[in-house]
């Protein structure tokens, strides 16, 4: 019998979304559970199993699941474990793939959210047909998944591709959650945009729509709305963010010579407000070998499905190894 | 009949060195010709062929050559061409692999010097058994070869791994040969060390053995000799060079999560004078995931043979594809 579906599981800090996906990236059905309800990790795995079974039975695809792909914070492709994820209640090293395999009896592969997004984009999205590209997820932080020669780059320990932690300001940089100073994600992420807004508004008294919002409550969405309405400080914030990201992209190019950078996540919705300054700074700073050669693309995965699609794409890989 | 040898060809700006190498990395015999004698590139290929045949016949291994590996400036693994090499007299795109294949009738693979060094190190040297490492060649410039998952990273166009052109000083940086400002190789290379020497000697009048040498003639070897003899400015020059390189290594780590950085080339001979400050700066700047985990190693290939060994290692790959 043809096994034409995979199960994609996206583990977030709040919700765990489970979907059944076909080879073309159609989400046949989707369900979700609260991630942090259970004190014990294996009870949480039981919850995933029960909810998945309901979904699978409702779709009548019980014998057609080829494998399971999971995207989860700090998930390690090599070990199949979640390692000390800051936004989950269970600490230490969690045997995610093993426990799921024990319950489902299906091949399981897991990786972190950004690598899952890269695989999703390569399987169903903007990177179809590409063998070399870099996925950049611009959410609360900056995540990345690097694809080289058609494979996700995992490195010696499964943790390759933490491009949010390149240091872009060695002097007077912002303090990063990782404890160091000046990391890229302190500037180029939703949080980074909000920090830039506070800094820029604090510089002087020039007028801005953003001044109507208490300064500590300004989000990247507020900055976007103001920029779209012509606010010059808001536009300047996107120019600044895009410039730093474009300079970083020029440096990333010398590493893996990608065909494209694909941006994804909340901040990527800013579209040309962000992409134009990225392109300008990247071209201005890039080595002649790559001038006018590397594309900046937006993800082609539908927002609501993207995380599950990314995770599911890994399920094909898991299934094919068996 | 067992084909137990490969031909390694190292094309430099001055000399072209040709060697016959066995599977353990023993150089059975070596010869060389002047690179730039012929005005026509195909005449140069004929010279290589004739000199190689003499060597092969003298070793009595005519039927035992499995393939040919070539390391050359700007050589592209995908296309088998040399592309606009600054230090060669023939311009444009040179069909290196095709012409050699036509003459020898043997499989040929070529790549640039730094990638060849990486493959050499993986086949015969310090990287045996490693699947993820970064080779850094510290010569006139800074070259690099990145190995990920056991494969050299070539990227979309064959030019991946130009780490000498990461920008490390965006403000007041040094002018690089590539036309941009502040590239890593302006600081961390033999030329970079000489430039640093001129800058540091120009700062003030403090005593240094280096002041005996006309300032424009100081080489990195002079700085090394002075440092070994306790000269404090010379030591400071190595500390400065090592610090910039170590900061860059910390950034490179987040990209491919290597087991080791392997340094090679003239400047690598400075040993701990350079390695100690590299280690200190790398550990100070690295993301917690990799703290005290990444080795800094010196090449284990014998200096005189290294270039030919690196090139030859690619010959096995070429031979195995046929």
Token couple for A246 = 């474009």
Instruction: Tell me the C-alpha distance between B52 and A261, whole Å.
Output: 45
Please indicate if any CB of chain A lies within 8 Å of the CB of B83. no
Instruction: Tell me the C-alpha distance between A142 and A264, whole Å.
Output: 10
Q: What is the pLDDT of residues A72-90, one digit of tens each?
A: 989 999 999 999 888 899 9
Distance, in angstroms, between B133 CA and closest chain A CA? 8
Q: Could you name the CATH architecture of B5-121+303-320? A: 2-Layer Sandwich (3.30)
Q: What is the pLDDT of residues A15-52, one digit of tens each?
A: 999 999 999 999 999 999 999 999 999 999 999 999 99
Instruction: Closest CB to B254: pick one of A165, A179, A254.
Output: A165
CA distances from A261 to A137, A164, A241, A296, B162 (A): 10, 14, 16, 5, 18
Distance, in angstroms, between A185 CA and closest chain B CA? 13
Q: From B84, which residue of chain A is nearest by alpha-carbon distance?
A: A289
Q: Are strands B27-34 and B151-152 parallel, antiparallel or unpaired?
A: unpaired
pLDDT for B305 equals: 82
Q: Identify whether the C-beta of residue B101 lies closer than 8 Å to the C-beta of residue B107.
A: yes
Q: Hey, which residues does A228 pair with through a beta bridge?
A: none
CB contact under 8 A, A153 and B157: no
Residues from chain B that touch A153, judged by Cβ atoms under 8 A, are: 148-149, 153, 255-256
Token couple for B166 = 């990461």
Q: Identify whether the C-beta of residue A89 lies closer than 8 Å to the C-beta of residue A80.
A: no
Instruction: Tell me the C-alpha distance between B220 and B203, whole Å.
Output: 18
Question: ipTM, 2 decimals?
Answer: 0.93
pLDDT for A2 equals: 67
CB contact under 8 A, A256 and B131: no
Superfamily assignment of B129-298 in CATH? ATPase, nucleotide binding domain (3.30.420.40)
Residues 213-252 of A with CB under 8 A from B: 247, 250-252
Instruction: Tell me the C-alpha distance between B69 and B229, whole Å.
Output: 41
Q: How confident is the model at residue A321 (pLDDT cuts 50, 70, 90)?
A: low
pLDDT for A45 equals: 97
Residues from chain A that touch B131, judged by Cβ atoms under 8 A, are: 156
3-state secondary structure of A97: helix
pLDDT for A320 equals: 80
Q: Is the pTM of this model over 0.90?
A: yes
Distance, in angstroms, between B179 CA and closest chain A CA? 9
Instruction: Tell me the C-alpha distance between A61 and A5, whole Å.
Output: 8
pLDDT in single tens digits along all 322 residues of chain B: 468 999 999 999 899 999 999 999 999 999 999 999 999 999 999 999 999 999 999 999 999 999 999 999 899 999 999 998 888 999 999 999 999 999 999 999 999 989 999 999 999 999 999 999 999 999 989 999 999 999 999 999 999 999 999 999 999 999 999 999 999 999 999 999 999 999 999 998 999 999 999 999 999 999 999 999 999 999 999 999 999 999 999 999 999 999 999 999 989 999 999 999 999 999 999 999 999 999 999 999 887 788 899 999 999 988 886 5
DSSP string of B218-229?
Answer: --HHHHHHHHHT
Q: Based on C-alpha coordinates, what's the Rg of chain A?
A: 20
3-state secondary structure of B43: helix
CB contact under 8 A, A161 and B255: yes
More confident position, A70 or A302: A70
More confident position, B140 or A302: B140
Instruction: Tell me the C-alpha distance between B133 and B295, whole Å.
Output: 9
pLDDT for A209 equals: 97
Instruction: Closest CB to B166: pick one of A178, A251, A258.
Output: A251
pLDDT for B321 equals: 66
Residues from chain A that touch B154, judged by Cβ atoms under 8 A, are: 149, 257
Q: Which residues contact B41 (CB under 8 A, 6 or more apart)?
A: B90, B94, B99
- Residue whose structure tokens are 């499905």: A305
Listed in order, the ranges of chain B carrying CATH 3.30.420.40 are 5-121+303-320, 129-298
Residue among B229, B242, B61, B217 nearest B136 (CA): B242
Q: What is the pLDDT of residues A173-210, one digit of tens each?
A: 999 999 999 999 999 999 999 999 999 999 989 999 99
At A141, phi and psi to the nearest 5? -115, -165
pLDDT for B211 equals: 97
pLDDT for B252 equals: 98
Q: Which of A159, A250, A255 should one mutate to test binding to chain B, selecting the residue with the greatest count of B CBs within 10 A?
A: A255
Instruction: Tell me the C-alpha distance between A243 and A194, whole Å.
Output: 16
């Amino acid at each position: 019998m043809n096994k034409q579906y995979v199960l994609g599981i996206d583990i977030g800090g709040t919700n765990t979304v489970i979907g059944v996906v076909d080879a073309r990236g159609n989400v046949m059905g989707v369900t979700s559970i609260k991630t942090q309800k259970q004190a014990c990790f294996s009870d949480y795995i039981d919850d995933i199993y029960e909810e998945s079974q309901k979904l699978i039975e409702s779709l009548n695809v019980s014998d057609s699941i080829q494998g399971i792909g999971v995207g989860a914070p700090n998930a390690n492709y090599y070990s199949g474990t979640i390692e000390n994820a800051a936004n989950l209640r269970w600490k230490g090293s969690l045997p995610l793939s093993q426990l799921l395999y024990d319950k489902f009896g299906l091949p399981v592969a897991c990786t972190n959210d950004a690598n899952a997004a890269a695989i999703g984009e390569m399987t169903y999205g903007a990177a179809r047909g590409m063998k070399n590209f870099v996925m950049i997820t611009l959410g609360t932080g900056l995540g990345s998944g690097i694809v080289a020669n058609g494979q996700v780059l995992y490195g010696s320990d499964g943790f390759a591709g933490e491009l949010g932690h390149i240091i872009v300001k060695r002097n007077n940089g912002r303090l990063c959650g990782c404890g160091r100073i000046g990391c890229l994600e302190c500037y180029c992420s939703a949080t980074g945009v909000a920090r830039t807004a506070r800094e820029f508004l604090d510089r002087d008294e020039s007028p801005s729509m953003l001044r109507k919002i208490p300064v500590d409550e300004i989000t990247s969405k507020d900055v976007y709305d103001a920029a779209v309405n012509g606010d010059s400080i808001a536009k300047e914030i996107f120019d600044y963010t895009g410039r730093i990201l474009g300079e970083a992209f020029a440096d990333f190019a010398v590493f893996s010579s990608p065909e494209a950078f694909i941006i994804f996540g909340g901040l990527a919705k800013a579209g040309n407000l962000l992409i134009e300054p990225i392109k300008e700074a990247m071209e201005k700073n890039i080595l002649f070998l790559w001038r006018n050669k590397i594309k900046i693309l937006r993800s082609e995965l539908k927002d609501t499905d993207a995380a599950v699609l990314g995770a599911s794409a890994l399920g094909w890989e898991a299934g094919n190894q068996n």
